[in-house]
Amino acid sequence: MRAPLLIASIAWALQACNTDCPTVNGQPVHLLSELKAFDGALKDQRPAAGVYPYSLQAPFFTDYTHKQRFIQLPSGTHLTFSADGVFDLPIGARIFKTFGHYADQADPTKGETLHETRVLERVGNGYVPYLFIWKDDQSDAECRPGGASLPSTFFDATGASVSINYQTPNVDQCQFCHGYYDPKPLGVKGRQLNHVNDYGAGPVNQLDYLVAQGALQGEVPAPENRPTQLDPTDVTGTLDERVRSYQDTNCGMCHNPKGLARVTGLYLNLEATDPFARGICRPVVAYLRSGGFQRVIEPGRPELSAMSFRLSSMDPDIHMPAGFNQLIDRDGVQLIDGWIQSLPEGTCPR
Ligand code: HEC
Ligand code: HEC
């Protein structure tokens, strides 16, 4: 799949800005194993000492991949809690995100093929992105800043066989989502990490675990005062809350006043609350890509809403979220369509 037009042209302009691989003690690193974040067979992704796995309340959808996330802290350092934003990471810290497809999504025990491991490393003045592509034999992953297209076949949760050329970004494209010229982590926030995980000794809240390990310091609030981002699949939340949480992760990093999609004025980050900014009754800006529909969201009518149209189209110039996905997030589309359906019809000014 081609990246959407706009993204493709920006990618061209930025080509070869960053062709680096990480260094350790001044020596360039070519293999993921050299970063010493994992013990045992690398493909098992068993964290080494000083490496902390974590998961999120609302993850980003990437072609039904299974993701594993880890933070590696230099010894004697720690994360610093932030009440509303991304944790502060010490210099030298790395965050790893490994993407793979289970052979059968309904049965993870049937094995997994790992595709890529993305890395953000904290340096003096910000973060540097790196990309490792897994070898066919899964013995290690190679630093490949140019990215890769990887044929992948798997059974999805409905039992259907799916074949795609899984597309990784290159390291110049990380900034589309992670921020222009100044990439930053997106998910390592209190509200995303505030839930229970099992590190092998029974369920424990991730924030409490990190604090107990000395890996997280600062003013971590008592459990009852912690911010939490709703799990979008949690049906105890309202449709509106679920949609806002889903969109925050899947759309909000571009659709915010500073993001790649700022020119649209369509803001889908959690901080955006104005219904018009969120698309309700909003006239489309990108009318050539909006399927002929006039409004981003026509209340009560997903079939007349440009948002639904763009989520369900697989034309690479039209599909949202913009980027690299080849597959539609069926659950995400269903959630957003159901929410649009629930909005009272005929309420836009004519
Ligand atoms: C299309 C958008 C998009 C692109 C392109 C993208 N990322 Fe991300 N990335 C995200 C989002 C959203 C999250 C947080 C949610 C999650 O982890 O599921 C994230 C999370 C991460 C994390 C975990 C730490 C964090 O930010 O919370 C790492 C590491 C990472 N990305 C590295 C990269 C690298 C390296 C590249 C380029 C090779 C890249 N990403 C390209 C959207 C993107
Ligand atoms: C990687 C960045 C990125 C992500 C992620 C992203 N968008 Fe976009 N979006 C854009 C850009 C850039 C535009 C403007 C250019 C265009 O229309 O293609 C846009 C335009 C749109 C438009 C058209 C607005 C108008 O007024 O015509 C809609 C609707 C939209 N996005 C919905 C979404 C939704 C819903 C999500 C999340 C599921 C999402 N986008 C995720 C970058 C992104």
In this prediction, residue 181 carries a pLDDT of 80
C-alpha to C-alpha distance for 344 and 192, rounded to whole angstroms: 31
Cα–Cα nearest to 115, from 49, 155, 164, 70? 164
Ligand 2 within 6 A of 277 CB? no
Q: Distance from the CA of 65 to the center of ligand 2, in angstroms?
A: 22
Q: Name the 3-class secondary structure at 190.
A: helix
Name the residue of 7, 251, 289 whose CB sits within 8 Å of the most ligand 2 atoms, as the mutation to test its pocket.
251
Ligand 1 atom 43: the closest Cα is on which residue? 177
Amino acid letter at 336? I
- In degrees and rounded to multiples of 5, residue 131 shows phi and psi of -135, 130
d(CA 158, CA 152): 17
Q: Cβ distance 209 to 199 under 8 Å?
A: yes
Please write the tens of the pLDDT for every residue from 92-135.
Answer: 999 999 999 999 999 999 999 999 999 999 999 899 999 999 99
- Ligand 2 proximity of 284 Cβ (cutoff 6 Å): yes
Question: Ligand 2 pocket check: which of 266, 320, 334 to mutate, most ligand atoms within 8 Å of Cβ?
Answer: 320
Per-residue pLDDT tens for 184-230? 999 999 999 999 999 988 999 999 999 999 999 999 999 999 999 99
Residue 28 pairs with which residues in a beta bridge? 23
The residues pairing with 305 across neighbouring beta strands, listed in sequence order, are 295
Question: Ligand 1, atom 30: nearest CA belongs to which residue?
Answer: 118
pLDDT at 11 > cutoff 80: no
**Choice from 6, 56, 73, 174 to test ligand 1 binding pocket (greatest atom count within 8 A of CB):** 174
- For residue 18, how many other CB atoms are within 10 A of its CB? 17
Rounded average pLDDT over 253-270: 96
Inter-CA distances, 229 with 59, 69, 91, 287, Å: 11, 18, 27, 32
Report whether residue 310 contacts ligand 2, using a CB cutoff of 6 Å: yes
Q: Which ligand is nearest to the CA of 302?
A: 2
Judge if the beta carbon of residue 250 lies within 6 A of ligand 2: yes
Atom of ligand 1 nearest to the CA of 119: 29
Mean pLDDT for the stretch of residues 12-38: 80
How far does residue 255's CA lie from ligand 2's centre (Å)? 7
What DSSP state is assigned to residue 57?
A: S
Going by DSSP bridges, is the β-strand pair 51-54/79-80 parallel, antiparallel, or unpaired? unpaired
Res. 342 pLDDT band, cuts 50 70 90: very high
Q: Can you tell me the distance from the alpha carbon of 184 to that of 122, in angstroms, rounded to the nearest whole number?
A: 9
